[in-house]
Chains A and B, each alone.
Chain A
Amino acid sequence: MTNQQNPGTSRREFIRNAAVVAIGGGLVAAACGNDDDAAPATATAAPTAAPATAAPTAAAPEIPPIKIGYVTPRTGPLAPFGEADTFVLGAMAAALGGNVEIADKDAESDPAKAGEVTAALIGEGADIVLAAGTPDISVPVAAACDLGEVPCLTSVAPWQAHYLGTGGGLGPDFPEPPVASEWNYHFFWGLEDIIGNFIELWNQAGVAKVVGGMWPNDPDGNAWSDPVVGFPPALEAAGFTVVDVGRFDLATQDYSAIISQFKDAGVEIVSGVVPPPVFATFQAQALQQGFNPPVMTMAKALLFPSAVETYPQGEGLSSEVWWTNRHPFSSSLTGQSAAELAAAFESATGAQWTQPLGFAHALFEVAVDAAKRAGSADKQALINAIGATNLDTVVGNINFSAFPIPNFAKTPLVSGQWVAGSKYPLELAINVNSGLPGVPKDADIVPIS
């Protein structure tokens, strides 16, 4: 009953977006016709982009005519993962020119919907599909692309969760891991990175080493609590006591059992991976029942300023950080540095920069780079070109042959805490930067009092 979503809307949306692309392309084409020079055209069509943007586009080989499908959760509980999309799609439509057609679809934070819209994009003739925003989205999109034999590039899901979800195994095969999905390449960090980050973060805090784990029954929760590669064994090896409440269901309305379990065990660090609305309900009930641990380090729920500001108590919460406006990288497409990209986002939207911005941009960087090298929209040529990627992007170097698991590449990870800011109510302070020393460390984590 819930998922018979109006195909009308998405079709309208598609036509509207296609029109935007066509108009953007038309502008560029018209300007090209006049000046016979692509550089000023790109600059005029992309007013939000920094002035330095045009040169790399002009110097690079032509992008072949290609249709790029783009799937992210724009609405629903995971909506903050798609917060930067409108800006990125607008900037891309302006920067890439008339040969590139972008069709975007909303996965509505629903794995079934994500698969459905991917199949629809493939049916509409997408040559390559990009997707991001938790394994709930990346896994079904990759599966649909595998079925349709269409090149697919995914991100923003820890590689283990994506790999396990798309059929890879971490068991006895591990030394020679199988290819999980022939048509899918994925880049992000892994559990080993976040575990290392969190342990370093919690050692700074100087609180009792008792960790309450909230790993729910979803692809992330199952991978993060895995008895081999997940948090529990690594934390115990590092001298922490783990109170794992089990794979609870995200539809739970009442967290009193979890809260009393944490209280009884003397938990001082709460960690886990839950969507923003779940954390909001949990924190309200925890405070109601007098449970306010000094350290709350959550993945997923505490990444986004827009979400953290709505929690009963946002200041002091901590999280992993995949991208900041201080990352020492710049875009291969527009030449913008991370700081310039974040500034362009802030001036265009009026909102604080958010981490998915860098990764949404990088997905297009990798796709366009591969399309240029492939020289056509031929699917086999495209997937081969993606596999041969070695590109410095705004989220770091992406090289699919540098990582032992086939079809995966890793980007660096740091960690931080939300503190009262000067420009915005809450800003990220970086506490752990061993994953990427190029990002300056601000301070040690300060326990919540």
Chain B
Amino acid sequence: MEWVNAIVQGILLGGLFALFATGLSLAFGVMRFGNLAHGDLAILAAFLAVSFASTLDVNPFVTMALVVPIMAAGGYVLQRFGFNWSIGADPLPSILVTFGLAVVIQNALLEQYSADSQGLDVGSFETRSIEFTDDIAVGWFPVLILGVAVVVLVGLQLFLSFTRMGRAFRATSDNPSTARLMGINDRNIYAVVMAIAFATVAVAGLFLGIRQTFGPTDGPAQLIFAFEAVVIGGLGSLWGTLLGGIILGVAQTVGNQVDVEYNVLSGPLFGHLIFLVVLAVRPSGLLGRSQQ
């Protein structure tokens, strides 16, 4: 039974990983843009929520109404007037630029908030659960995270498949210069993509902040999980990202069940192993489009 519980908890944890990976997956899928500051952006969003929650004296869930639009606007502006210059055939400039951004965010947070651990308190909701058997209890909050992750990923997939804007995303992704000939402003498309990416990572950051405590330098650890979820699931495939996140989550909880002693390795280790195996056997990921 405890194995069933480990898998159930892992699937729920995977929801958070998938939500983290969404923005990364989208940005990579549409513009081949690897954002190394992705994890730090999540932490930044969580810190913003801490500030709003304490100054406005509201529930952290309410701060989402402020933090998500602010992050989205920030993503749009940053892409439109910054990152767009680094997009091209060579992936190196974007990696360098976002690496720099990551360092800036970490140190700015350290300067502003100190190295203290922060948490977002949502009261008893965080500890409420549904008990199925003595061994298996499912918390409402992890269920909410997984639910939001599924809604966000399904919503984005539908958006890409069925809307005009979504078609423009795909067209730009396939061939930016042809898309430009058809009257699509690719620079604007990129900025909108980044706005969506920032919005999703803000949601992920808030959930992380409610789930556990966080400090200014916790971003890079989140980035690794996000990257692995994207690669396992398949570059550019949103369904794959959901699957990748869940596989990582299950690997971590089942790894802990095997032996918590080595969980600095074992939880993440199983995740890393799966990541390497996928990379070796199926470089385009489980559900990835094969690259030509």
A residues contacting B by CB (< 8 A) are 1-2, 5-6, 9, 75-77, 79, 106, 108-110, 217, 245-249, 251-254, 256-258, 260-261, 263-264, 276-277, 280-281, 284-285, 287-290, 310, 312
CB-based contact A258/B260 at 8 Å: yes
A residues less than 8 Å from B102 (CB atoms): 1
Q: Which of B55-63, B130-138, B162-170 contacts A (4 or more CB under 8 A)?
A: B130-138
Contacts of B115 in A (CB 8 A): 75-76, 79, 106, 108-110
Residues in A neighbouring B284, C-beta threshold 8 A: none
Instruction: Name B's interface SS.
Output: helix
Asked whether, in the complex, the Cβ of B212 is within 8 Å of the Cβ of A253, the reply is yes
- State whether B256 touches A247 (Cβ < 8 A): no
Q: In the complex, which residues of chain A have a beta carbon less than 8 angstroms from the beta carbon of B139?
A: 285, 288-289
- Which of A76, A260, A276, A285 touches B135 (beta carbons < 8 Å)? A260
| With known contacts A1-B102, A248-B260, A284–B127 Cβ distance under 8 A | yes
B259 near A281: Cβ-Cβ < 8 Å: no
Q: Is the CB of B103 within 8 A of A1?
A: yes
User: Which of A252, A261, A264, A310 has the most CB atoms of chain B within a 10 A radius of its CB?
Assistant: A252
Knowing that A77-B117, A289-B129 touch, tell me 10 more A-B residue pairs with CB under 8 angstroms. Answer: A1-B103, A249-B264, A252-B260, A252-B263, A254-B13, A260-B5, A288-B127, A288-B139, A288-B142, A312-B124
Minimum distance in angstroms from A400 CB to a CB of chain B = 33
Chain B: CB-nearest residue to A286:
B127
Q: Interface residues of A: mostly helix, strand, loop or mixed?
A: loop
Q: Give CA–CA (A79, B118) in the complex, Å.
A: 11
By a CB distance below 8 angstroms, the chain B residues around A2 are 106, 217, 220
A1 to B103, CA, bound (A): 7
Q: CA of A276 to CA of B141 in the docked complex: distance in angstroms? A: 21
Verify A280–B111 contact, CB threshold 8 A: no
Minimum CB–CB distance from A328 to chain B (whole Å) comes to 34
Measured between C-beta atoms, what is the minimum distance from B216 to chain A in Å? Answer: 8
Check B252 against A254 for contact (C-beta < 8 Å).
Answer: yes
Closest to B131 in A: A290
Chain B interface (Cβ < 8 Å from any Cβ of A) = 2, 5-6, 9, 13, 102-103, 106-107, 110-111, 114-117, 119, 121, 124, 126-129, 131, 134-135, 137, 139, 141-142, 211-213, 215, 217, 220-221, 252-253, 256-257, 259-261, 263-264, 267
Contacts of B221 in A (CB 8 A): 251
CB contacts (< 8 Å) of A5 on chain B: these are 110
User: In the complex, how many angstroms separate the beta carbon of B11 from the nearest chain A beta carbon?
Assistant: 11
In the complex, chain A residues whose CB is within 8 Å of the CB of B129: 287-290
Is A246 within 8 A of B259, CB to CB? yes
Of all chain A residues, which has the CB nearest B5? Answer: A260
Decide: A1 and B263 in contact? CB cutoff 8 A: no
Determine which of B110, B220, B267 lies in contact with A252 in the assembled complex, contact meaning CB atoms within 8 Å. B267
Residues of A within 8 A of B134 (CB): 263, 290
Nearest Cβ distance between residue A81 and chain B, in whole angstroms?
12
Report B257 CB to chain A, min CB distance, Å.
5
CB within 8 Å for A289 and B137 given contacts A76-B116, A253-B212, A280-B119:
yes
* Closest chain A CB from B229 CB (angstroms): 14
By beta carbon, the residue of chain B nearest A1 is B103
A256:B260 contact, CB within 8 angstroms: no
Whether A254 lies near B127 (C-beta < 8 A) is: no
> Please, how many angstroms separate the alpha-carbon atoms of A285 and B140 in the complex?
11
Report how far A77 CA is from B261 CA in the complex, Å.
22
| Bound CA span A402–B114, Å | 41
* CB-based contact B135/A281 at 8 Å: no
Shortest C-beta distance, B12 to chain A (Å), equals 9
Asked if B211 contacts A263 (CB within 8 A), the reply is no
* Top 10 A-B pairs, shortest CB-CB distance: A246-B261, A249-B264, A257-B256, A288-B139, A277-B213, A287-B127, A75-B115, A2-B217, A256-B9, A76-B115
Option from A110, A257, A263 in Cβ contact (under 8 Å) with B257: A257
Taking CB atoms, residues of chain A closer than 8 Å to B2 are: 260-261, 264
CB atoms of B260 and A1 under 8 A apart: no
What residues of chain A lie closer than 8 Å to B106, measured between beta carbons?
1-2
